[in-house]
Chains A and B, each alone.
Chain A
């Protein structure tokens, strides 16, 4: 193991990643199972989770691949689903500016859940920030790969009923929101984001809700720049 990812970063990073462990293993299981049931080989689940690593897009791809959708269409739909990640990066420019060695991986591995942890949880004093970020990111992706591989190989014969355990990811988002509220105690961002989500739901429905809501929220928070300064 690289010395930069020392034991000092591993403990806090693992602790921060446990909610993602629950969610990614179970949702990954579901993904792997679906993919294999649609007629793809088991290792395609591993390849996708290792190189695409975008949950919603991977689920979407299961249906698109078995329907024979054109590659161009799949690329456009992947863009629509993952466009929100452009905004995530925008708010991490400062945080990642201290990162050197693992920056490329941190950018590659920026899922919703990892973004939430990296923008909300601060590593304990004395722990190198980049090591903490990189360890959280790598642990999260390892859970996703393990889950989807298991799902593809043995998902059909699981002996226990895990229905509902994926609520852990909703719970993680709620915890991270509460933590944000502790730090940013102004109503504007929360009110703007709530209204933006409602507008987006009316405009586009559930399918592309996130990116539309986020774009409306950003437009909506701009007028408050003076008030929030």
Chain B
């Protein structure tokens, strides 16, 4: 397909995706632009971030297979290394580089 010859279909699909995505992200801000959020939103604002981070961490492992050690050991070991490093040194970059390096080594040697 040439650069100039993109189909109206593809263009329309991408526009629709952009519109839906921005709508999802903007909904709460638009909804509460004029009205005060109910008190329960104050409560949720505090506890949603830790819950979402928990879901995102667990979700990162959602397709992990436990059939063979090489399927799950690199991800789990590197994940524990990240948490351990971070609890110990609390240096974000060290935790992330260290864990990622360990992961990249493990998936190659296992």
B22 to chain A minimum Cβ distance, whole angstroms, is: 6
Do the beta carbons of B93 and A78 come within 8 Å of each other? no
Indicate whether B69 reaches chain A with its CB closer than 8 angstroms.
no
Indicate whether A11 reaches chain B with its CB closer than 8 angstroms.
no
Do the beta carbons of A197 and B29 come within 8 Å of each other? no
Residues 203-229 of A at the B interface (beta carbon under 8 Å): 206, 209-210, 213-214, 217-218, 221-222, 225, 228-229
Do the beta carbons of A170 and B75 come within 8 Å of each other? yes
Do the beta carbons of B54 and A107 come within 8 Å of each other? no
Do the beta carbons of A74 and B16 come within 8 Å of each other? yes
Do the beta carbons of A116 and B16 come within 8 Å of each other? no
Give every chain A residue within 8 A of B58 (Cβ-Cβ). 193-194, 197, 213
Residue of A nearest to B42 (CB): A94
Residue of B nearest to A207 (CB): B62
Residues 154-180 of A at the B interface (beta carbon under 8 Å): 163-165, 167-180
Do the beta carbons of A108 and B25 come within 8 Å of each other? yes
Q: What's the tally of chain A residues with a CB closer than 8 Å to chain B?
A: 93
Do the beta carbons of B79 and A221 come within 8 Å of each other? no
Do the beta carbons of A184 and B104 come within 8 Å of each other? no
Q: What is the CA–CA distance of A86 and B48 in the complex, to the nearest angstrom?
A: 12
Residue of B nearest to A221 (CB): B47
Most chain A CB inside 10 Å of its own CB: which residue of B1, B20, B93, B99 = B20
Do the beta carbons of B13 and A169 come within 8 Å of each other? no
Do the beta carbons of B48 and A108 come within 8 Å of each other? no
Chain A to chain B: the 6 pairs with minimum beta-carbon distance, closest first: A193-B54, A89-B28, A91-B48, A193-B51, A170-B60, A164-B104
29 A–B contacts from the bound complex (CB under 8 Å) = A16-B92, A22-B100, A44-B6, A61-B17, A78-B21, A82-B21, A87-B48, A93-B28, A107-B22, A107-B26, A107-B29, A108-B26, A110-B25, A120-B49, A164-B104, A167-B103, A169-B60, A171-B100, A173-B56, A175-B86, A175-B96, A177-B53, A180-B50, A189-B47, A189-B50, A190-B51, A210-B55, A218-B44, A222-B40
